Structure 1
Amino acid sequence: MWRCLTFLCGLIAAPMAQAHPHVFVDVTLTLETDDEGRVDGVEVTWVYDPLFTMLVLSDRGLDADADLSLTEKEKALLLGFDLQDWPEGFDGALFAYDEDDAVTLGPAEALSVGMQDGALVTRHRRPVATREIGAGETLRLKPYDPYYYAALSLVGIDGLPDGCRAQIVPPDTDAADARVAEMGDSNDEMFFEEAKVGVHYAFTAEVTCAGS
């Protein structure tokens, strides 16, 4: 994910030393449904922190006039920049679970990139094998970076099927910190590569439906 982007590693690794996370992202999820109200995709919106935004634009020579807006040409050049160079086996930064097991999400498709209040905003879609959320069942969505290079905060979930409601459950950061402290040396950058502690800091969207 972000840790694998060449420009990011080069720009951030030195000035930010070994502190984690390096990038901060506000996430909004929008469920996509078919004509029968079954979930068949998730649109993901990422709003990046101002420092990361500045580094990306500077590294790529964009927004030369520093007006914090992008031309259509600049948007075309930047589209999908944060979906590139995902390592083999990396599932992205969104994980889904139903009542029985993990839900497989398809490859990310870049939709748009732009600026909002001085921050980079990107949108992409993750297809889902069509599924119905049965009465009393819960679909859980967890946006997080396993390596905790980026901290993802879930700020909204939209597009709920009729008769469904959603609850956003934030992580217990104190418990997460304690768990990570037990796992190894969090001052060692390689620790985050191996331990994949991001799940302990994950927000969870719980979508529960009453059924028809």
Structure 2
Amino acid sequence: MTTGVRRRMGVEERREQLIAVALELFSHRSPDEVSIDEIAGAAGISRPLVYHYFPGKRSLYEAALRKAAVDLAARFEEPREGPLGPRLLRVMGRFFDFVDQHGPGFSALMRGGPAVGSSTTNALIDSVRQAAYEQILAHIGITAPSARLELVVRSWVSLAESTALLWLDGRRVPRAELELQLVHDFVALTAVSAAYDEEIAAVLRAVLATEPSDGHFADLVGRLVALAPLPQSHA
């Protein structure tokens, strides 16, 4: 017969539990709106016990953010096999999975929250952006990018972030369309810069050489040509 006595958690186990509870609450509401009392209640412990493991709400928020940052950075990891278009589309799918699951917390982090502006928070945000940047460079096979190529990749990472934030405001554009659009945005940004930089032109040629004739990038070209068909010569 069981006695119903609750098992006592170790220090690290309890900390991980509180971080998980905080992340779950932050996923549905802005961290500014979540109180320590709510976190304690959801974890089944008292408010003073929360302060035993974390000095305050900011430290708990930063710990939860650190865990989320590791998760988000991992969404950009993808086996470097096959055409780039499908790879980027899978990455965008996982990225938007995260945004969809952690909407209010993601929005609060990027737009303002209880720990925004702190050196810890800024470093965590930068670490996610840097991880995404490095993953994209690895996908296109570049280890020492030129200044212009770095600008292209970092601009695209920033575009993905801002697109996700705008999408969260009402989800007025179908998510699948935005994921594909961001894949198209990457090749479009690269193509514009390729007109000014031979290194980027070589990267673009290498990427397009592996794309199937009916792939994502060919789809973009078809859409653009349909918008502005070439003038026909007159007899």
Q: TM tier, shorter chain?
A: under 0.3
Query: Normalized against structure 1, the TM-score is what?
Result: 0.27
Instruction: State the structure with more CA Rg.
Output: 2
Query: Normalized against structure 2, the TM-score is what?
Result: 0.25
